[in-house]
Amino acid sequence: MKKIIAPLLLFLVITTVAVISFFYMQNQKEANLLAAEQQATLNAPIPITTVSGLIGSEKEDFFNDPNVQRILQEKYQLSVNFEKVGSRRIATTGGAKGSVTSYDFAFPAGTPAAQNIKDNYPVLESYRVFFTPMTIASWQPVVDVLEKNGIVRKKGTYYAVLDMQKLLALMKAQTRWKDLPNNDGFDISRQILVNTTDIRSSNSAAMYLSLASYLSNDDQIVTNQQQIAKVLPEILPLFANQGFLAGSSATPFEDYLLKGMGNSPMVMIYESQYLHQASLDNGGVRDDMVLLYPEPTIFTQHTLLAMTKQGKALGEALTNDIELQKLAIQHGYRSNNATLVADFQKNLEAHNLKNVPPSINEVIDTPSYEVLETMIESIEKSLAQ
């Protein structure tokens, strides 16, 4: 009996071990497969959503910044595909697709353009991303002449155009530089003008129009047809006498950097353009270049209008992400986030940009979109004749 039971027990033990080993191997195989699948999922690239939109040319460098692109992709899985269009044209005609609604977002410069888009298109949400004041890029010999004539004065470390009314009067009278008294540094026959972009397409020219109309209306914002009729004859030559007008804010500033003082004695630009260029190692900003701060001036608010949920995702990232806001500051913009005011100053100090006011108090509002558009359309008709 024992001879029968012993082999039987041995057989049962061997069989049990074999069965357990089989199921263990099966479970281990399944566990390895599951782990491999999980690892493959972890290693798989996260799908990136492409967000398409319209932007003013002044924001091109910001969106092309590798650090901006990296943060948008790694943290928000977003890639921005943009089309550069003048801010007024964004608001009125859209881009290559023919309508703002064909894009995920529109990102013009200036409150009037943004407000028109909000009023006329199905905007899901708007985001005040950053802002910049309007300034005048000039040259030290030009500034010296203006200073001798009581138009410009240094305030602390920066230059301010203190008498905008006097400067405007010289331009309206079509005064030439050589006719200014005490002019031994820039006595050329060219007419005194501030170079701008094309009023028919670009926000920076519209901001210049807003400022000029305010000054021509006895330091009051133009609000009605009677005031429009009063100021337009005085303002039209400021644009008509310039000759060719570029459609984007990038072109006049590039001419200023490359063609020099004779071509561009004074150019209306965004402060952010100058500060970003000056912060670059080979940006082309030289010691004889001067940034003037008109008093009063106008803030240009850069507002993103989201048409889709993808546009909303981009707007929320640009507005709320501190890293992206700090990168915007590095590109010369001022943040709407009050906690980042010190970062703007630190960025200036890091690049030895001393001639910049930390805050600006003499600021006016733009006219309403309807009033501004009426003035632009009138100038547009005159330029076309």
Q: Is the pLDDT of residue 10 over 70?
A: no
Within 10 angstroms of residue 89's Cβ, the number of other Cβ atoms is: 21
Element (H, E) at 130: strand 125-139
Q: What is the mean pLDDT of residues 104-116?
A: 92
55-82, pLDDT tens digit by residue?
988 999 999 999 999 999 999 999 999 9
Whether cis (ω within 30° of 0) applies to the bond prior to 296 is yes
The domain ranges of the chain are 49-130+301-350, 133-299+363-384
What is the CATH code of the structural domain delimited by 49-130+301-350? 3.40.190.10
How far is CA 115 from each of CA 139, 318, 367, rounded to the nearest angstrom? Answer: 35, 19, 12
144-197, pLDDT tens digit by residue?
999 999 999 999 888 888 889 999 999 999 999 999 999 988 989 999 999 998
In angstroms, the CA 228 to CA 376 distance is 11
Q: Which residue is listed with tokens 């309206």?
A: 172
Same fold, 49-130+301-350 and 133-299+363-384: yes
DSSP 262-280: TT-SSEEEEHHHHHHHHHS
Within 10 angstroms of residue 155's Cβ, the number of other Cβ atoms is: 12
With H, G, I as helix, E, B as strand and everything else as coil, classify residue 174. coil
Q: Phi and psi (nearest 5°) for 44?
A: -65, 140
pLDDT at residue 50, rounded to an integer: 96
Q: Is the pLDDT of residue 134 over 90?
A: yes
Q: Is the pLDDT of residue 38 over 80?
A: no
pTM: 0.84
Does residue 350 or residue 385 have the better pLDDT? Answer: 350
Does residue 384 or residue 27 have the better pLDDT? Answer: 384
Does residue 3 or residue 167 have the better pLDDT? Answer: 167
DSSP 18-48: HHHHHHHHHHHHHHHHHHHHHHHHHHSPPPP
DSSP state of 31: H
Q: Is the pLDDT of residue 8 over 80?
A: no
Q: Say if CB 266 and CB 253 are below 8 A apart.
A: no
Nearest alpha carbon to residue 159 among 149, 151, 168: 151
In angstroms, the CA 321 to CA 339 distance is 13
Q: How confident is the model at residue 244 (pLDDT cuts 50, 70, 90)?
A: confident
133-299+363-384 CATH choice from 3.40.190.10, 3.50.50.60, 3.40.50.300, 3.40.640.10: 3.40.190.10
pLDDT at residue 23, rounded to an integer: 54
76-97, pLDDT tens digit by residue?
999 999 999 888 888 877 777 8
Q: How confident is the model at residue 19 (pLDDT cuts 50, 70, 90)?
A: low
Strand partners, 141: none
